[in-house]
């Protein structure tokens, strides 16, 4: 919850004009300082509201002004063990990795092609 509060305030710093910025910052602070009520869903409802406010602020603030950590964030869904979960997939879950090193045979073939097009030698002289 605290990180969500920080993200909202960091984005609010870049809202233009200054009068609107102060209003946005004040509304964020007052919303987070309100006491929790047990009947309205408590913390879960507040977190959802804060996340929707964060999404709305991201639309107002240009990407160039957004802090680097906030630009690439988004909701991701990953299929693990037959269940859809929130989070990100590790590289190992994407399947096989490929060895991208160039072998000796590939390098020989590359040089043959270069010679065939006369890139490794002086061009033939025409009489």
pLDDT digit string, tens, across residues 37-47? 665 567 778 88
Whole-prediction pTM:
0.46
| pLDDT band at residue 108 using 50, 70 and 90 as cut-offs | very high
Give me the pLDDT at residue 61, please. Answer: 80
Give me the pLDDT at residue 105, please. Answer: 92
Judge contact between 50 and 60, C-beta under 8 A: no
Does the pLDDT at position 109 exceed 90?
A: yes
The C-alpha atoms of residue 7 and residue 16 are separated, in whole angstroms, by 17
* Beta carbons within 10 angstroms of residue 28's beta carbon: 19
Give me the pLDDT at residue 32, please. Answer: 83
Does the pLDDT at position 60 exceed 60?
A: yes
Give me the pLDDT at residue 72, please. Answer: 47
Query: pLDDT digits over 78-103, tens only?
Result: 667 777 776 655 555 555 666 778 88
């Amino acid at each position: 919850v605290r990180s969500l509060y920080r993200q909202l305030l960091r984005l609010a710093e870049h809202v233009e004009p200054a009068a609107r910025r102060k209003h946005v910052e004040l509304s964020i602070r007052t919303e987070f300082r309100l006491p929790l009520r047990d009947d309205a869903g408590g913390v879960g409802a507040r977190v959802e509201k804060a996340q929707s406010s964060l999404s709305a602020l991201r639309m107002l603030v240009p990407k160039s002004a957004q802090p680097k950590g906030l630009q690439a964030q988004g909701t991701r869904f990953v299929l693990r063990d037959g269940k859809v979960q929130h989070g990100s997939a590790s590289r190992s879950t994407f399947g096989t990795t490929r060895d991208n090193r160039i072998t000796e045979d590939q390098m020989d073939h590359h040089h043959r092609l270069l010679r065939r097009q006369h890139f490794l030698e002086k061009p033939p002289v025409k009489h």
